[in-house]
Amino acid sequence: MKHTQIHLAIALLVFGAASVKAAEPVDGTNPAPLPPSSSAVPNSAEVLPANVFEAGGIPVAKTRSKNPLKVADGINVFADVVGSFGYDSNVTTATKGQEVSSSVYNLRPTVVAEAKYRADRYTLAYKGDYTRYPSFDANKLENNDLLFNGVNVFDTRASVAWGAAYMDRYDAIGSTDRSIGASKPDHHRDLAVNATFRYGADDAKGRVEVDTGLSSKRYLNNHDSTEASDVDTTNVGARFYYRVAPKTRAFVEYRWTTYDYAHDTNFLENTERRYLLGATWDATAAVSGTIKAGQQRKDFFYDQLRPEYSGFTWEAALRWKPLTYTSFDLISGRSASDPSGSTGIPIAKTVSLAWSHDWSSYVHSKLSAGYTNTRYNSDVRRDRESVYSIGMMYDLRRWLGVGLDYTFSHRNSNVDTYDYLRNLTMLRLEASF
C-alpha cells in the first residue's frame, strides 16, 4: 500500500483511525497487513494526515505511484500491487492450546483514476485485499472496495468534499468476539455516502465545517451470530476553527451519530454525541496533526437493559518530523464503541508510537509499538493488548521494492477465552505501474 520504500515497523501503542488522501503517494512504511484479527494497533502512517471523511468512515484509496499513466488532459491513472508471503503462528488469534498455524499469502491491488478540472478533483478507485492460508483454507479473505470521492471548490472560501463507497468484505475468524470458534469468516456488504462543506479561506482567522453521512452494513452469512450486527448509521458533525498562530488553529467540534440495528437482539440501538475541544497544526510545521478531547455520551433506546454511557474521550494523531528523512508518529485515544458480541460496552484506551527513517534514498525502516487497554462496562472483562513490529524495505527500482516485516502481538484478558499470542513474518514485494 505504499511506494517503493522500505520501512521498519514496530507497532507501539495505538488508537486512532483516519485515512490518507486519495491518490497520495504512499511511503512504503506499512508492514504487510495483518489479518484483521491481529491488527490491534493501526499503523500510524494510515492515520496521518487526517482527512475530511474521518467522521463518516469512508475509506480513501491510496497509491504509492508517483508516475501515473496520463490517459487524457487532466486525467491520470495510478496502479499499485503489493504481494506478500509469510508465516502466521496463530491464524485465528486463538487461546493457548487451540492455535492454528499456517503459511499465508496476501495480494493487494489498488487502481485509482484521478480527474482534475480547475480546482476541482475527482477520484474513482478500486482496492482489493486477498488473503489465503494453505493450512487453514476456511479463513480465506476476499475484500473488494469501490470508492468515488470528489472535492469541489466554489471560490477561495467555500468548498465541499464528498465520497461514496461500496465495500464487499470479510471479518476474519477470531477478529470479533462473535467469530471466535466460527467455521468461516463473516461476510458483509457496506454502503456509505458522506459530504463535508467548508467555509473559510486558508488564511482566514475563522473557518467552519459541517459534515453529514449515511452508511449501511449487512451480513450475508453466519446469520445466527451476525444478524444482530446489521446496522444503519447516520452522522452529522460541525466544527469551528480559529487561527491562534500562523500554523495553529484551535477548534470546537460536535458530532451526533445514530446506530439503528435491523435485528436488535443485543439491544444496542443508540444515539451517540461527542463534544470536543482541540487544536490542529499545519503540515508545514515541524509538528503536524490534531488533538481533541471532550465528552462522549451514548444513550441506548432500551435504557433499562443497557444503561447510558457518559465519559471522557480524546483523539490524537501527531507527527514530529525533526529531519527530512526521519519522523515520529504518536497516536492515542479513548472511546466507547458498540460491542461485536453480547458483552458490555467496550471502552478502549490506546496509544501507539512509530519511528520511520530513510537510511538512504532506497533503504527505509519503521519501528512501532502499540498498547490497548479495554474494559467493558456492566461486565468484569478487561483486555490488555500489545503489538510490536519491525520492518524494512529496499527499493530495487523506482517502481519496485522488496521488504521484510515481523510483528508480535498478544492479548491478556481476565477471561481466558480471549488470551492469545501471535507471531507473523512477511516478505513483501511492491510494484507501481
Segment holding 224, helix H or strand E: helix 223-226
Q: What is the mean pLDDT of residues 229-243?
A: 96
Q: What is the mean pLDDT of residues 249-257?
A: 97
pLDDT for 30 equals 40
Residue whose C-alpha cell reads 513483501 in the numeric block: 428
pLDDT for 177 equals 83
pLDDT for 380 equals 86
Q: Quick: pLDDT tens for 93-113.
A: 999 999 999 999 999 999 999
pLDDT above 80 (res 27): no
Q: How far is CA 400 from the centre of its chain?
A: 25
Residue whose C-alpha cell reads 468515488 in the numeric block: 148
DSSP 387-427: EEEEEEEEEEETTEEEEEEEEEEEEEESSGGG-EEEEEEEE
pLDDT above 70 (res 306): yes
Q: Quick: pLDDT tens for 140-166.
A: 999 999 999 999 999 999 999 999 999
Nearest partner of 218 among 175, 193, 186, judged by Cα: 186
Q: Is residue 164 part of a domain?
A: yes
Q: Is residue 4 part of a domain?
A: no
Q: Is residue 6 part of a domain?
A: no
pLDDT for 262 equals 92
Rounded to 5°, the CA angle 239-243-244 comes to: 125
User: Who wins on pLDDT, 54 or 124?
Assistant: 124
Give the domain range for residue 114: 36-432
Nearest partner of 142 among 124, 179, 166, 167, judged by Cα: 167
Q: Is residue 214 part of a domain?
A: yes
pLDDT for 356 equals 94
Q: What is the mean pLDDT of residues 110-136?
A: 94
Q: Quick: pLDDT tens for 324-379.
A: 999 999 999 999 999 887 678 899 999 999 999 999 999 999 999 999 999 998 77
pLDDT above 70 (res 35): no
pLDDT for 7 equals 36
- Residue 26 pLDDT level (bands cut at 50, 70, 90): very low
Residue whose C-alpha cell reads 497516536 in the numeric block: 331
Residue whose C-alpha cell reads 444503519 in the numeric block: 232
Residue whose C-alpha cell reads 495553529 in the numeric block: 248
pLDDT for 53 equals 34
* Cis preceding linkage at 109, omega within 30: no
Mean pLDDT of the chain: 84
Domain harbouring 254, CATH code: 2.40.160
d(CA 35, CA 37): 5
Q: Is residue 124 part of a domain?
A: yes
Q: What is the mean pLDDT of residues 376-397?
A: 92
CA atoms within 13 A on the CB side of 28: 31
Q: State the CB neighbour count (10 A cutoff) for residue 220.
A: 12
Domain count, the chain: 1
What DSSP designation does 12 have? B
Nearest partner of 130 among 100, 172, 102, judged by Cα: 172
**Which cell numbers hold the place of 336?**
466507547
DSSP 326-338: EEEEEEEEEEE--
3-class secondary structure, 54: coil
- Residue 72 pLDDT level (bands cut at 50, 70, 90): confident
Q: Is residue 18 part of a domain?
A: no
Rounded to 5°, the CA angle 418-34-49 comes to: 110
For 39-78, b where at least 16 C-beta lie within 10 A, e where not — what string?
bbbbbbbbbbbbbbbbbbbbbbbbbbbeebeeeeeeebbb
Q: Is residue 5 part of a domain?
A: no
**Which cell numbers hold the place of 430?**
511492491
Contact assessment for residue 213 and residue 194, using Cβ atoms and an 8 Å cutoff: yes
Q: Is residue 1 part of a domain?
A: no
pLDDT for 77 equals 93
Share of the chain above pLDDT 90, in %: 68
* CA distances for 43 relative to 8, 163, 330, 357, 370, angstroms: 11, 23, 10, 15, 9
d(CA 107, CA 290): 32
d(CA 157, CA 6): 39
Q: Are strands 382-397 and 400-413 parallel, antiparallel or unpaired?
A: antiparallel
**What residues have CB less than 8 Å from 132, skipping those under 6 apart?**
104, 105, 106, 140
